[in-house]
Structure formats: structure tokens, C-alpha cells
Structure 1
């Protein structure tokens, strides 16, 4: 059940932000200067921009600490997912795979 929720959240975390980003790309191309100008255009958008940046740093720390503890492989994939698609995709994807790792380890212990 928990894995299904994480999967749904990862899909939403990919689709919803990109529903805003793709039209920007079509209209302006990959204009990084304009992207950051609009991201920090006012105090409210700056608030959200800073929140996402700090959340990403916390997420990266969590991925490496928890992933190492659970002996998960290819932790770079979750960082790449975060950088390419956002923390709203990377975090639930990591939690989905983490849950699978925990369930797998629990099965091995019960044998």
C-alpha cells in the first residue's frame, strides 16, 4: 500500500511541475538567466525557490545517509531525478525504492 502511494506521488511530482516547466521551455527555450529571474521575481516566488533548494539539499543528505545504511545501490539516480525533475519526484521515488529495500531485508531476516 505504501509503495503504491509513493509511486502515485512520484508520478504527480513529475507531471504537475513539468506541466508548468514545458510551456516555459517552448516559449523561451532553455534560458537559464530568465528562469532564475522569474524564479526570484518577487518575495513569494523567492520563498518557494529557496524552499525547494534547501529541501533538495536535505533530500541529498537523507539519500546518502539512509541509502548507505540500507545498503541501497545507485544512489546517484535519486539525485539525478531531483536535479532533472525536482524534489517532488526524487523524494517519493527514493521512498518507493527504500520501502522495497526494507521489505526485501525483512523477508531475508524472516527466513
Structure 2
């Protein structure tokens, strides 16, 4: 550890030894997210390759969304059929042990962070997409997060492949 060069907190040290300020993309793809928070493939990447990558990413998010609906609800529906909408009992069982409390709080904090991101931070979603994501998040993080990522990725693809407006 003593052989590491002294750096300021604003510097990032990629493996090749060049210093890149945080917030800037290193030319080799190593480093933090660019300042504009876009995932640009660079000028050398063909548009067809971008569409294929983006479509496969959208497909992956769609699979995660399907799993995020099917797997949790395979457990929730029988519980609801047996217990009804008993919120008190649900909370008692959710926080019955330390490990179940861990997962309960993990999901609650994730949903709150997702709701904050969707409603305050991210401006890439339309109002209808934002509303749909908020409603899906109320079903759980396993539904809301993949849906948000799917919609966001689709919007990025559509804006990347749309021709620029004529000036």
C-alpha cells in the first residue's frame, strides 16, 4: 500500500497510471460515469450495434421484471388468501426475526430510493411512465426497479436513434 502515489480526493487512478478527475470517463472505459450521466458508446460505435446492445438490455430488464412479479407474488398470493389483507399480521411476520427484518428494511429503503429517483431526480421518463413506475414500486422493489430500468433504457434507445431536429 505504501507504493501508491498521493492523490487528491478529486483524482481517480486507473490501472494505466494516468489520473482522471472524478466525473470524467477514462478513454479505455475505465473510470466513473461521465458528467452528463449518459452511456454513450462513442463516435466509433455503429448505430446498429447500439440498438442491439440496448434491445438486449431491454430484454434482460423485461425478464427481471417478469421474475420480480412472479417469484414474490408466488409467495404473497397464498399468504393473502390465507390471512387476508391483515397489515398488522404482515408486519409482525415481516419483522419476526433479525434476518427477515434485514430483508424488510432492505426492500423498504430500496423502494424509497427508487421513488425519490423516479419523482425527483430522473427527468427521462414521461409523466405516464413515472406514474406507472411509482405504482409498480408500491408492489415492491422487484417490480418497480426493473420496470424503471426498462423504461429508462427504452427512452435512451429511442432518443439515441431519433434524428436530431433541423435547426
Give the TM-score normalised by structure 2.
0.61
Give the Cα separation in 1 of the matches to 2:94 and 2:68: 18
Residue 73 of structure 1: CA displacement?
2.7
**1:78 corresponds to which residue?**
133
Give the Cα separation in 1 of the matches to 2:60 and 2:162: 24
Give the Cα separation in 2 of the matches to 1:71 and 1:4: 18
Matched, 1:40 2:95: yes
1:48-67 Cα distance to aligned partner (Å, 9 max, x none) = 1111000111111221211x
For structure 2, the residue ranges without an aligned partner over 5 or more in a row are: 1-55
Larger radius of gyration: 2
Residue 109 of structure 1: CA displacement?
4.3
Give the Cα separation in 2 of the matches to 1:79 and 1:91: 10
The within-5 A match list for 1:20-31 is 20-31=75-86
Higher helix share: 1
Matched, 1:106 2:154: no
1:41-93 Cα distance to aligned partner (Å, 9 max, x none) = 11111111111000111111221211x2x25232121111011x211111111
| Equivalent pair of 1:72/1:101 in contact (CA under 8 Å) | no
Matched, 1:60 2:105: no
Q: 4+ residue stretches of structure 1 with deviation over 4 A?
A: none
- Residues 4, 71 of structure 1: CA spacing in aligned structure 2 closer, same or farther, 3 A cutoff? closer
For structure 1, the residue ranges without an aligned partner over 5 or more in a row are: none
| Equivalent pair of 2:125/2:151 in contact (CA under 8 Å) | no
Instruction: Tell me the SS of whatever aligns to 2:162.
Output: helix
| Equivalent pair of 2:62/2:150 in contact (CA under 8 Å) | yes
Q: What's the RMSD between the two structures over aligned residues?
A: 1.4
Give the TM-score normalised by structure 1.
0.90
Q: How many residues align?
A: 108
